């Protein structure tokens, strides 16, 4: 009846009624058309949203991976995650609703597994990368041959979008093999799939980073260049946000983005900020490059865990370089955050418990000189 309907539409009851939730869903639903003309229905609805898109994220088990998977899965996209190690992928399962996050076992040399991972997707992100060569994969195997296999699969199944995460300073003539192979990977991707979106992040900081965590780790800092390399650190969450925007904006296809933070630092300046935040003075031991390279070569033959590689020493002597033609955060409408603003958030765990912040004592407590921290019963 009319009265019942009026009652249903009263502000106090509107949010809970089934009728209004249907209306709400209709208001928020949207049909997008992909670059190749496929209609995608999206419906906003919190954790049970329908994102419409299917996205494959290679390298999702790394540091950056979670910041894009989490965005895609919570907006209701189906996220396919090719993985190598069972334990490395577990935290990604809960980023989306049941069935949204799909895991597929993959090997970078197994073309069939790569094709299986991409064939149902509308967009493929490739975040695969390694800072050092491993016993089974050289840098070229990962950054060039691996990229080639993935992009060939993307082209074969005519996937709408391919977003390739490379690195800052990636140039074909770089003295560092890491940057060189990253540049070769970019070139191969563009040759096979010209609409490739290339993303070159600056050194990233965040909760699981290898920048501030390395500097805060309770051991001496061993370097070869007195921490003089200069770069523009970027927040991993900002890079994740940029990667998500690329899905919804097809004008980003065939473009190159260099994503860097608002301020330039030297590694020594970041180290100073870290020391201040963790309230400890770390010792910097500098071993000259000509000694460091042979030492690392020997250590890497004897030890089986990562102890640093000659590649990383080489990179210490290179400042971040920019491509004047590349786009940046500004073109995506994102304001990158400042490293300085987040050091406390990310480093407070490294502080000694002697500096644990207690609530200030009241005047009464001061008079009675209460010293205990916990009161039970």
What residue has token string 């597929």? 104
- Compute the least distance from the CB of residue 66 to ligand NDP, in Å: 9
Query: Which of 203, 240, 261, 310 is close enough to bind ligand NDP by CB under 6 A?
Result: 203
**Nearest CA among 296, 339, 289 for reference residue 314:** 289
- Kind of pairing between the strands at 284-286 and 221-223: parallel
CA 32 vs CA 35, 43, 132, 250: distances in Å: 10, 11, 41, 11
Q: How many CA atoms lie within 13 A of 39 on its CB side?
A: 4
Indicate which single residue of 42, 117, 167, 174 sits in contact with ligand NDP (rule: CB under 6 A): 167
One residue of 55, 80, 114, 204 binding ligand NDP per CB under 6 A: 204
DSSP class of residue 320?
Answer: -
Q: Does 170 bind ligand NDP (CB under 6 A)?
A: no
Closer of 34 and 316 to ligand NDP (Cβ): 316
Name the one range near ligand NDP by CB under 6 A: 149-157, 161-169, 270-278, 328-336: 161-169
Q: Does 65 bind ligand NDP (CB under 6 A)?
A: yes
Q: Which of 81, 127, 227, 259 binds ligand NDP (CB under 6 A)?
A: 127
Pick out residues in 6-25 that bind ligand NDP (CB under 6 A). none
* Whether the Cβ atoms of residue 139 and residue 179 lie closer than 8 Å to each other: no
Minimum CB distance to ligand NDP smaller for 71 or for 130 = 130
Minimum Å gap between C-beta 55 and ligand NDP is 15
Among the candidate windows 59-67, 73-81, 216-224, 366-374, which touches ligand NDP by CB under 6 A? 59-67
Phi, psi of 105 (to 5 degrees): -75, 135
206 binds ligand NDP, rule: CB under 6 A: no
Q: Which residues of 207-242 are buried (b: 16+ CB within 10 A; e: fewer)?
A: eebebbbebbeeeebebbbebebebbbbbbbbbbbb
Distance between CA atoms of residues 73 and 67, nearest Å: 10
Q: Torsion angle of alpha carbons 182, 183, 187, 189, nearest 10°?
A: 20
Which SS3 state, helix, strand or coil, does residue 38 take? Answer: coil
Asked if residue 84 binds ligand NDP (CB under 6 A), the reply is: yes
DSSP annotation of 262 reads S
Span of 160-168, 188-196, 281-289, 369-377 interacting with ligand NDP by CB under 6 A? 160-168
163 binding ligand NDP? (CB under 6 A): no
Interface with ligand NDP, residue 165, by CB under 6 A: yes
Stretch that binds ligand NDP, among 58-66, 244-252, 293-301, 322-330 (CB under 6 A): 58-66
* Short-list 123, 142, 127, 121, CA closest to 92: 127
Longest Cα separation, the chain: 87
Decide: is 52 part of the binding site for ligand NDP (CB under 6 A). no
Q: Which of 51, 52, 59, 133 binds ligand NDP (CB under 6 A)?
A: 59
Look at residues 129, 150, 151 and name the one whose alpha carbon lies nearest to residue 138.
129
CB 126 to ligand NDP: min, Å: 8
**Closest approach of Cβ 363 to ligand NDP, in Å?**
49
Q: What's the min distance (Å) between Cβ of 62 and ligand NDP?
A: 2
Question: Which residues of the shown chain bind ligand NDP in the complex (CB under 6 A)?
Answer: 59, 61-65, 84-85, 88, 108, 127-130, 137, 142, 165, 167-168, 201, 203-204
């Amino acid at each position: 009846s009319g009265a019942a309907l009026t009652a249903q539409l009263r502000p106090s009851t509107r949010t809970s009624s089934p009728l209004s939730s249907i209306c709400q869903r209709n208001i928020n639903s949207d049909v997008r058309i992909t670059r190749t003309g496929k209609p995608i229905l999206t419906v906003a609805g919190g954790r049970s949203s329908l994102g419409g898109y299917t996205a494959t994220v290679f390298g999702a088990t790394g540091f950056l991976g979670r910041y894009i998977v989490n965005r895609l899965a919570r907006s209701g996209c189906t996220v396919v995650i090719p993985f190598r190690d069972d334990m490395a992928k577990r935290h990604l399962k809960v980023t989306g609703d049941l069935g949204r996050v799909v895991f597929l076992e993959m090997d970078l040399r197994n073309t069939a597994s790569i094709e299986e991972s991409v064939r149902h997707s509308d967009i493929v992100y490739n975040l695969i990368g390694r800072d050092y060569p491993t016993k089974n994969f050289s840098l070229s195997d990962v950054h060039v041959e691996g990229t080639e296999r993935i992009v060939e699969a993307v082209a074969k199944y005519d996937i709408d979008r391919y977003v390739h995460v490379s690195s800052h300073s990636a140039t074909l003539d770089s003295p560092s093999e890491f940057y060189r192979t990253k540049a070769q990977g970019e070139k191969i991707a563009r040759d096979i799939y010209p609409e490739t979106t290339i993303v070159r992040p600056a050194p990233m900081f965040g909760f699981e980073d290898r920048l501030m965590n390395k500097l805060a780790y309770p051991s001496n800092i061993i370097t070869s260049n007195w921490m003089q390399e200069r770069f523009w650190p970027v927040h991993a969450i900002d890079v994740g946000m940029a990667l998500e925007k690329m899905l919804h904006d097809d004008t980003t296809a065939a473009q190159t983005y260099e994503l860097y933070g608002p301020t330039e630092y030297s590694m020594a300046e970041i180290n100073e900020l870290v020391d201040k935040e963790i309230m400890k003075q770390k010792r910097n031991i500098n071993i000259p490059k000509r000694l460091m390279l042979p030492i690392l070569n020997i250590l890497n033959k004897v030890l089986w865990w990562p102890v640093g590689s000659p590649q990383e020493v080489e990179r210490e002597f290179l400042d971040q370089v920019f491509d004047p033609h590349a786009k940046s955060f500004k073109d995506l409408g994102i304001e990158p955050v400042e490293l300085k603003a987040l050091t406390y958030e990310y480093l407070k765990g490294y502080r000694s418990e002697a500096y644990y912040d207690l609530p200030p004592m009241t005047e009464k407590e001061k008079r009675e000189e209460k010293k205990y921290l916990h009161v039970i019963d």
